[in-house]
Chains A and B, each alone.
Chain A
Amino acid sequence: MNALDIELVSVSKSYAGMAVVKDIDLAIPQGEFVSILGPSGCGKTTTLNMIAGFTAPSHGDIRIKGRSQVRVPPERRNIGLVFQNYALFPHMTVTENVAFGLKMKGVRRNEAETTVKSALRSVHLEGMGERYPRELSGGQQQRVALARAIAPRPSVLLLDEPLSNLDLKLREAMRIELKEIQQQLGMTFVYVTHDQEEAMAMSDRVVVMWQGAIAQEGQPAALYREPNSRFVADFIGKSNILSVTSTATQAANLELAVGDGLILKAHKIELTAEIRYCSIRPESIAVLPPGAGGSGFANLLNATVRRVVNLGAAFEIDADLGSDVRLHVLLRATRASVPPKVGDAIHLGIDDADIQPLSA
């Protein structure tokens, strides 16, 4: 296990009695890429500002490498920060911007020059050193901001929605680049975003925040597969969320009653709280032609096709199961697959492992 870089110990923040961040516990090991993911206003920036030192927590402790930081001013925390609007110094050239942190640390001139050069190289901006920030495109400014933040080699880099001002293509390219840079440097990244794809694509671990508290944290795949709440299931990826009216434990399965009279068989789990919803990912539902037989699915349901949307790589099918239940199904488009037509009667096969019971 790596040494811990950052620890948040029951950190809370309230403004004028309004709790904005509620009792957050978080331990980030060295070299990890952690995303803090959540909808607008859930307290992501506030959390980041507390780590950076611009905001003091109302309660709790923030530790960096085991040392409490509550009384340490931002300039002495040895943390880097990339702002959403980049915050490049407009009166300095790219080189001067990147060299700023080294100068403040008293790094010798020729040593600083080498570091600036290698920082600019790692963000592919060689030869742009003499330009001013306003002479750069948004994507280039973004890279300068990154180079400036990593040049003094902080132990931790905080990034507050750094890609949200870029267009989609560039954003996707930068995701890969950011991840590569992080791995090269072995630096701890704390990445704040409200874009779940971004978080899933880059992170070793995702911390989902909701209304000031951590809703769930874990590896991206685990969060996707096993969301612990209706909110997380809905926020990460797309999902069919069904209300569960009653549950019954059978020998091998957990039976969930949804709609009026429809029973779904889920994996047997230990019940600690009442099951109120279940989540089924659209791509985990198999579309079978009528009369295809059992074919090994725990759940085999009759449905009528209500709508088919061609998404190119897949077909999105709206299936009506009767009893007030509708499911979105994602059918991958292959040469062999023939999408059903509106009004067709089909069978839907769902594995019991693909039905995720939720208690909140």
Chain B
Amino acid sequence: MNSLALDLHPPARRRRTLSWFPFAALSPSLLVLSVFFALPMGMMIGMSFTQTETFSPTLEHYQRFFTDGLSLAGFCRTALMSLLVAVSVTVLGYPVAYFLARSTTRWRAVVFALALAPELAGVVLRTYGWLIILEDRGFINDLLLQLGVISSPLPLSKNLFAVVVGLTHVVLPFGILSLMTSIQGIDPNLERAAQMLGASRLAVIRTIVLPLSVPGIVSSMLIAFTMAASAYATPALLGGAGFKVLATMIYEQVLFYIDWPFASVMAMALLLMMLAISFVGVRYESRRRSRASVSSGGER
């Protein structure tokens, strides 16, 4: 009895005395956010429900989004592209992140610099770089044609493949960083313990490192997905005129058709897609965590 009361009391009291402080600390950023973020967001939401001539509330823009065929196709293409980027960033980034998290040699600094170097060149520059490599008359096709491996250029650019390659390159450093942080949080003795119990290098990764770095994998996928879904320059340049995703379609609506309400609807669709994905990811993580803590509470 007594010990139970002692156990429960201190955390509760601490929480109460601290409660006002986080909000006070947040207030400057809340102010900035509300002016530069919430306000335009509100305007966008308002516009998406507004009739263009009469300014009366309407659902016609949404109706158009779901019925014109092109918009939904763009939505699905965006989701597919972002998913592919999320997977390829995480798969490609994982070995690099593991190396960076565990290496103690001087190679670590070299690999770290190489992994982050792409961020120094701008997105547009890197995208043009990929264009030079992937074009019909680009580096790869030229080489393969001259070697006689192929007789006509492979379709490497102006399509989904090129965009996923370009975006993977852009997003990879962010994926690597979030994976690395997560792997660094795993006690290296766990890997040694597994090894002492007879696990090969590969078995250690599969049974210990991968399961324990799930939070890093989830956040790497989330970051990659949202960055890919909102990217404009890479899909526009590497995808060509026929490759339409929400970001490029919004740009078109605003600049060429001057249709702000319809652009707002597409922006809403993009926003909801990213919110849904984040929700799923965060939910998955907290489910994992609470499953553990609930069972601890239940058994004691």
What residues of chain A have their CB less than 8 Å away from a CB belonging to chain B?
52, 54, 73-76, 79-81, 83, 85, 87-91, 100-101, 104-105, 130-132, 134-135, 148-149, 152
Contact = CB atoms under 8 A, between A and B. Distances in A.
B15 to A, nearest CB: 21
Given A85-B189, A91-B211, A75 B196 contact: yes
Interface of B: 187, 189-190, 192-200, 203, 207-208, 211-212, 292, 295-296, 299-300
Contact of B292 (A80, A81, A134): A134
A141 B254 CA distance: 62
Query: Among the interface residues B189, B198, B203, B292, which one has the most CB atoms of the partner chain A within 10 A?
Result: B198
Contact of B197 (A73, A90, A101, A131): A101
A100 B196 contact: no
Cβ-closest 7 pairs across A and B: A101-B197, A104-B198, A87-B189, A87-B193, A135-B296, A81-B196, A74-B195
B196 A74 contact: yes
Contact of A52 (B196, B207, B211): B196
B193 A81 contact: yes
Given A75-B199, A87-B187, A90-B212, A135 B194 contact: no
A52 B192 CA distance: 10
A91 B189 CA distance: 15
Contacts of A83: 189, 192-193
Contacts of B197: 75, 80, 100-101, 104, 148-149, 152
A74 B292 CA distance: 31
A148 B196 CA distance: 11
Contacts of A74: 192, 195-196
A152 B193 contact: no
Contacts of B300: 135
Contact of A89 (B195, B196, B208): B208
Contacts of B200: 75
A85 B192 CA distance: 12
Nearest to B208: A89
Nearest to B212: A91
Given A131-B299, A135-B299, A85 B196 contact: no
Contacts of B212: 90-91
A54 B189 CA distance: 11
Contact of B192 (A80, A87, A104, A149): A87
6 contacts: A87-B187, A87-B189, A89-B193, A90-B190, A100-B194, A101-B198
A130 B193 CA distance: 20
Nearest to A80: B196
Nearest to A132: B292
Contacts of A135: 295-296, 299-300
A89 B299 CA distance: 19
Contacts of B292: 132, 134
A6 to B, nearest CB: 15
Nearest to B295: A132
Contacts of A88: 193
A273 B189 CA distance: 45
A85 B189 CA distance: 9
Contact of A134 (B198, B207, B296): B296
A105 B211 CA distance: 20
Contact of A87 (B190, B199, B295, B299): B190
A135 B299 CA distance: 9
Contacts of A105: 198
